[in-house]
A = this chain, B = another copy of it.
Amino acid sequence: MLELAILGFLYDAPLHGYELRKRITALTGHVKPVAESTLYPAIKRLEKAGLLARATQPGSVAAPRHVLTLTEEGGSELRRRLADPVQRDITDENRWFTVLAFLRHLADPAAQAAVLRRRLAFLEEPASFFYEGDRPLRAEELHDPFRQGILTIARATSRAELTWLRSTIDSLEGNVRDASPDRPSSAAGPSTLR
Question: Residues of A with Cβ closer than 8 Å to B?
Answer: 26-28, 30-33, 88, 91-94, 97, 100-101, 103-104, 112, 127-131, 139-140, 144-150, 152-157, 159-161, 164-165, 168, 171, 191-194
Contacts and interface: CB of A to CB of B under 8 A. Distances in A.
Given A129-B26, A152-B164, A161-B153, A144 B93 contact: no
Number of copies: 2
Contacts of A159: 156
Q: Which of A27, A146, A192 has the most CB of B within 10 A?
A: A146
16 contacts: A26-B129, A28-B129, A32-B92, A33-B88, A100-B149, A100-B150, A103-B146, A139-B194, A145-B168, A146-B168, A152-B193, A153-B157, A155-B160, A156-B156, A156-B159, A156-B160
B161 A26 contact: no
A138 to B, nearest CB: 10
A165 B157 CA distance: 15
B92 A130 contact: no
A32 B88 contact: yes
